[in-house]
Structure 1
Amino acid sequence: MKQSTQQAPRPKQPRGNAVLALSLFGVIAGMVGLSFAAVPLYRAFCAATGYGGTPKIGPAASPGVIAQTIAVRFNADTNPTLPWRFLPEQNEVHVKLGDEQVAFYHARNLDSGPVTGVATYNVTPEKAAKYFHKTACFCFNEQTLAPNQEMQFPLSFWVDPAIASDPSTADVNTITLSYTFFRSLDDAARSGALAKAGPHVGPLVR
């Protein structure tokens, strides 16, 4: 008596494989999207909280002016790939807490062709950053200077009077605002200096 040689039917490929592949693609795409979004989100977080020495930015009005003053110093740095001369027009000012002030930086393009730069900034000591409010500035915006062109960059700011009543900042008598100008990523790519363009990030300078 012959035994049956009928083979068991092959299992059909489950639709779950396609669903799994689509899910993995979605996760990867989401991670890529988050990596691009992380930088501007982090910058927004820092600007809102003062984290990492980032002064707050926005049109918020001062709660009022008091007689106590604080010294604000201005620092300027230029990445070596940017052929600019960049300096503050004032080294230091003494301002009343809560009083809005205007200060200026000055730049000149030393190159024989147009050059585009972008500035980053920070405040020291870091613990004072949440009390330093910039209502207008030139940071994170591309600035293009023609050969030998000079430009003045204004900024407006005020220091929250609450800095004097916070035990952690009551000893702060001087705040330093530092700007660093880098060559923009697009400009650095065109000039062949991308590898040395500096630590600034693409989404911030587009």
Structure 2
Amino acid sequence: MKALIIVDVQNDFLPGGALAVKEGDQIIPIINQIQEKFDFVVATQDWHPEDHGSFAANHSGKEVGEFIILNGVNQILWPTHCVQGSLGAEFHKDLMTEKWKAVFQKGTNPLVDSYSGFFDNNNKGDTGLSKFLKNNGIEEVFVCGLAEDYCVKFTVLDGLSEGFKTHLILDATRAVNIYENDFAKAMIEMKNAGANIVHSTNIE
């Protein structure tokens, strides 16, 4: 049985948001169409406390894009985004949510960031996504959403490590591209790890 995982299609990651992904809004109609091909759909949601350690604003003298060591992990500093209960943390109003079986929130621990929908960046905090999928007989996952070079990539990689046959839906994701070629580098990394790269029109 297959499932669709929709990653972080939230206002702060869309044009006009605090951590906007260029053309991020263009994937929403595609994701809505894709959902019709799945009986099982779940979503992830960045859900940070205001004092999250990945926010540059919480580190005196530090700027967005700089790196620090956060709880033993090399951490890039982000603009304040997807704060719990804020408009920026909400899913975009045009995104269809009626078919969703569950939403898995991540990044709730201020001491560690969490890109993947499965685990935090220390690989210790478990969202429960893997167990939920397996308990429902899911063996194959299709991943889409934002952003391709961070949360989508790590969700794909963890899906593979958890034993799921894992696909990235190429036309239903966009990258932050903080550094040039991040999109292409992430694509190569996912493909080399065993992910299948597919187009939405080829999903049966």
Question: Fold match, TM over 0.5?
Answer: no
Which band: TM-score by shorter chain? under 0.3
Q: What TM-score do you get using the length of structure 1 for normalisation? A: 0.23
TM-score by length of 2: 0.23
The structure with more strand, counted as a fraction of residues: 1
